[in-house]
Structure 1
Amino acid sequence: MLFVRSFLFNVAFYANLVLWLIILIPAFLVPRRVFIALVKVWARSSLWLLRVIAGTRVEIRGVGRIPAGGALVAAKHQSFWETFALVTIFDDPTFILKRELMWIPFFGWYLRKARCVPVNRRAGSQALVQMTARAREEAQHGRQIIIFPEGTRRPPGAPAAYKYGVAHLYQNLGFPCIPVALNSGLYWPRRQFIRRPGTIRVEILDPIAPGLKREEFFQSMQDAIEESSGRLLAEGRHELGLGGIPPEPVTSTPNI
């Protein structure tokens, strides 16, 4: 039954994605805020399919901690799930992502319309300068800049591997940082077909005010995300009856 429900969900999810890629074509002509609102409708429809077909619900904790206006959002990254689900939580979100994604037909065009912040990983230190300038511009317009500090999806329970790009952004943006913990990798595992029934839990943690020293911020952010994600992971493992099953092997991916 798990295989059947996972198969049906994946078919429905990607069919829905293709449908929305078509529906959004005329949205190139509307203001960006209207475009973001339409993207949120797609994201919510995907979450609805996940709940109805795969039996995977979502619980968001700490929404009241989100400050108004611009912010840096540092989120745990375990699954493809958070790349669309986090859009539904924040008012006017945008993502920091690798530049190559902007070159994908249709999908990349929509990323440009949403004014996502591309990173040219081959540009070395100059990439940080360009990324920061774009991110600051968006944050000054009241947007929430979502970054995955570990740079790539990592399996639940894998050792933390945070990159210093998030600390560079924090120091140079002058906006609060909102840490986000989650356990999505238990239910939507990376590079796997299976979608497990249960409850994906996301916790919005206390914002970190601007002004901390680089190392102080970096350690504080990492400790907050890891402590909360570990607790959510324990809750999910208990729910799924996974006990002490060790995490899947992980390989390191260099990133800013």
Structure 2
Amino acid sequence: MIAVRSLLLNFVFFVGGFFLALLILPCLFLTRRAMQWGLTLWATSVMKALRVVAGLSWEIRGLENIPDRPCIFACKHQSAWETGIFYLLVNDPAYILKKELLSVPFFGWYVAKSGAIAIDRKAGASALKLMIKGAQERLARGQNVIIFPEGTRSAPGKSGTYHPGIAALYKGVDAPIVPVALNSGLFWQRRSFLKRPGCIVLEFLPPIAPGQDRKAFMKALQGAIEDTSNRLAIEGRAKYPHALEQDANEAQDEKPDVTSEV
């Protein structure tokens, strides 16, 4: 049954997504805010399809931890789900992503128009400088910045390498950083055809204010995200027996989705 629902979801996602991409194409020639409206429409459609077709819903915790000013959200990355959900959760999001994604038809054009911060993985230290400058500009105009500190998706219960980009942002941008934990990988595994029914939980954790040294910040950030994500994974497995089990052979050294340098 899960396979049948997943097959139907993929049909809806790709066929329906193509027509939706055409529908919001005019936003590409309007304002950036119009493009954000189009991406929010896309994200809403995807989440509704997941709920109706695949039986996969979501729960948000810790909304009281979101500051009342633009900030940086450092999110655990386990599936494609979190690459869209922030359009429904925070005002005017700007994702940090690898430059190559901007060449993807429709998606790349749209996120570029929306104000995403694209990073060239081969640029080294200059990429960090451009990322900090881009984040400063987005925050100044009221956007919230989204970054995946591990740079790639990791399986539930596992921690990837937290790259120096998040520390550079913390030191270079005067804004709080909100750790974000989740258990989406229990239901939507990396590059998996199957989408398991259940309820993804995303939790906003207390923000980390500017001012700590780099080592203390990285320890606090990783500890908050990993401890809470592991708790959510245990909670999800207990509630949904069909959720993804731990796999000791899960690869952690694949090419990053975002940039490993950041």
* Normalised-by-shorter TM-score class: over 0.9
Q: Higher mean Cα deviation, 104-113 or 136-145? A: 104-113
- The one-letter amino acid paired with 2:93 is P
Please name the residue that 1:155 is paired with: 155
Please name the residue that 1:96 is paired with: 96
Shift of 1:186: 0.7
1:201-255 CA-to-partner distances (Å, cap 9, x unmatched) read 0001111111111111111011000111011100111122269943351232471
Partners of 1:16 and 1:46 within 8 A in 2: no
Q: Does 1:45 align with 2:45?
A: yes
Which runs of structure 2 are paired with 1:21-32 in the superposition (5 Å)?
Answer: 21-32=21-32
Q: Secondary structure at the match of 1:174?
A: coil
Partners of 1:160 and 1:226 within 8 A in 2: no
Alpha-carbon distance between aligned partners in 1 of 2:46 and 2:86, rounded to the nearest angstrom: 12
Tell me the TM-score normalised to structure 2 length. 0.93
Q: Secondary structure at the match of 1:42?
A: helix
Q: Does 1:211 align with 2:211?
A: yes
Please name the residue that 1:250 is paired with: 251
1:2-34 CA-to-partner distances (Å, cap 9, x unmatched) read 110111111111222212210111112332123
Alpha-carbon distance between aligned partners in 2 of 1:242 and 1:10, rounded to the nearest angstrom: 20
Q: Secondary structure at the match of 2:59?
A: strand
1:83-132 CA-to-partner distances (Å, cap 9, x unmatched) read 11122111110100000111223222112111100101111111111111
Distance 1:114 1:216, change over 3 A: same
Q: What runs of 5+ residues in structure 2 fail to find an aligned partner?
A: none
Partners of 1:56 and 1:199 within 8 A in 2: yes
Which runs of structure 2 are paired with 1:148-227 in the superposition (5 Å)?
Answer: 148-227=148-227
1:64-91 CA-to-partner distances (Å, cap 9, x unmatched) read 2211222111000000111111221111
Which runs of structure 2 are paired with 1:32-71 in the superposition (5 Å)?
Answer: 32-71=32-71
Alpha-carbon distance between aligned partners in 1 of 2:122 and 2:160, rounded to the nearest angstrom: 24
Length, aligned pairs only: 256
Distance 1:244 1:39, change over 3 A: closer
